[in-house]
Amino acid sequence: MDEGNEQAIQNLGLFNSFTIPYKTVNNHEITTDILIPKDIKPGKHPLLARFHGGGLITGSSSFIGFFPAWVSEYAHAKSAVIVMPNYRLLPEARGADILEDISDFWAWVTGGKLQAFVESREEAKGVVIDLEKIWAHGESAGGYLSIQSGLLLPPGTLRIISAAFPMLDWHDPWYTTPHTAPSPINKPFFNAPLLPRSLLTSHLQSLAPGSTISAADPPERIDLLLSIGQQARWTEFIGTEEKLYPMQEIEKRDEFPPVFIFHGKDDSAVPAVGTERFVDVYKRRFGAEKILCRIEEGDHGFDKPSKLEDEWLVEGLGFVEREWLG
C-alpha cells in the first residue's frame, strides 16, 4: 500500500467516524462524513470542511487515495471536527446541481443540523462546533469547491480557505481544446493514453432520466474523467452560468476569505498557470497579505506523502492557523 495511504488510514483511527445524509435528491441520499477526535473534550471546537477531488466526475468523501494524511493529522492536533460531503457528479449532474449541493451542505452545517448530530453522540458529549472558526479545504475539483464556498457564503462565514491544485480557470485552452493530437503544446491529459470517443458517448446514451451519482471510488469512473478531459468537454457538462466560473465571479466581489493555495509545477491534470492567474486576480482585488501561494516540485497530488514538518507546509499551515484559530 502507498505510504501516504497507510498514514491516512492510521490517522483516521484517531477519529470516531460517522456517515449521514445531509440531503436527498431523486430518492438518492447525499451523505457527509463526520470525523470527531476520539480524545475530544467538552467545549468549543473549530471545524474543517474538506471537499474531495476527482474532476467533479469521480471520487468520494471517504476515498483514502485522495485524502492526504497531513490534513487529518493537523486537524486532530487542533482538536477540530472534520466534515467531508459528497456531492452530485458530472456528467449525470451539471455544475449548477453541484453548487446547489454545496450550498445545501453549508446550510446544513450553519443551520444547526451538524451541531444537533454531534450532540446526539455520547462520544461527543458537551462538544460545541465553533461556527466562528471554519476552515474550508479541497483538493483538485475539491479546491474548486472550497473556493466556490467562499463565493457562495456570506462574508465572514469562512475564516480561511485552502485549495490544493484547484481546477479554477475553466476557460483555459487546457480545458477547451481536445487533447486528441498531443504535441509539445497540447500535452496528454494526465499523461494518459487516448481513449476511444465511443466510451463517453456510450455512457451518456445509457443514462436513465434522473440518474444521480454522488460517490464513486476510483478506479470507478476514471475512464469518464479521462474521456471528458481528453475531449475537452468540461464546460459542456459544467454549464454556462457565470456563477460556475470562479475566475470571473471573484472579479465581482469586494471581499473574500484569506486563501492558502498550492500547486505542483509539473501538474499533468490541472496546469499550475490557473492557480497563478487566480493569485494575480486575488492580489489585485483584495491585496497580497491575505493570500499565500506555494508552487512546488511535483505532479498532481504531490502533497499526498507530505509531512507536517515539510517547509512549505510549515509556512502554509502557519498562515492557516493564524486566520483559522487566531
What DSSP character marks residue 188? P
Q: Which residues pair with 294 in a beta bridge?
A: 262
Taking alpha carbons only, the member of 91, 115, 105, 112 closest to residue 138 is 105
Neighbours of 3 (CB within 10 A): 10
DSSP secondary structure string for all residues of 91-120: TTS-HHHHHHHHHHHHHHHHTTHHHHHHHT
pLDDT at 3 over 70: no
Instruction: Please tell me the distance from the alpha carbon of residue 100 to that of residue 195, in angstroms, as a whole number.
Output: 31
Query: Domain 3-321 - what CATH class?
Result: alpha beta
The pLDDT, as a whole number, for residue 200 is 97
pLDDT by residue (tens digit) across 206-252?
999 889 999 999 999 999 999 999 999 999 999 999 999 999 999 99
Domain ranges of the chain: 3-321
Question: Are the C-beta atoms of 136 and 125 separated by less than 8 Å?
Answer: no
Q: Cell triple for residue 30?
A: 447525499
Q: Is the per-residue pLDDT at 181 higher than 80?
A: no
Q: What confidence tier does 183 reach under pLDDT thresholds 50, 70, 90?
A: low
Query: How much is the average pLDDT of 101-116?
Result: 99
Q: How far is CA 32 from the centre of its chain?
A: 13
- The string of pLDDT tens digits covering residues 261-310 is 999 999 999 999 999 999 999 999 999 999 999 999 999 999 999 999 99
Residue with cell 497530488: 301
Rounded Cα–Cα distance for residues 118 and 122 (Å)? 9
Q: What does the alpha-carbon distance between residue 10 and residue 19 come to, in Å, rounded to a whole number?
A: 19
The yes-or-no verdict on residue 177 having pLDDT over 70 is yes
> Once rounded to an integer, what is the mean pLDDT over residues 42-60?
99
pLDDT score, position 190: 87
pLDDT tens digits along 16-45: 999 999 999 999 999 999 999 999 999 999
pLDDT at 103 over 90: yes
For 161, how many CA atoms within 13 A lie in the half-sphere containing its CB? 29
**How far apart, in whole angstroms, are the C-alpha atoms of residue 89 and residue 221?**
10
Q: Return mean pLDDT, the chain.
A: 96
Closest C-alpha among 190, 179, 216 to residue 92: 216
179 within 8 A of 195, measured Cβ to Cβ: no
CA torsion, ordered 93, 99, 100, 101, to nearest 10 deg: 80
Pairing relationship of beta strands 81-85 and 291-296 according to DSSP bridges? unpaired
Between residues 186 and 115, the one the model is more confident about: 115
Question: Is residue 223 classed exposed, middle or buried when 0-12, 13-18 and 19+ CB atoms within 10 A define those classes?
Answer: middle
Task: Give percent of the chain with pLDDT exceeding 70.
Answer: 98
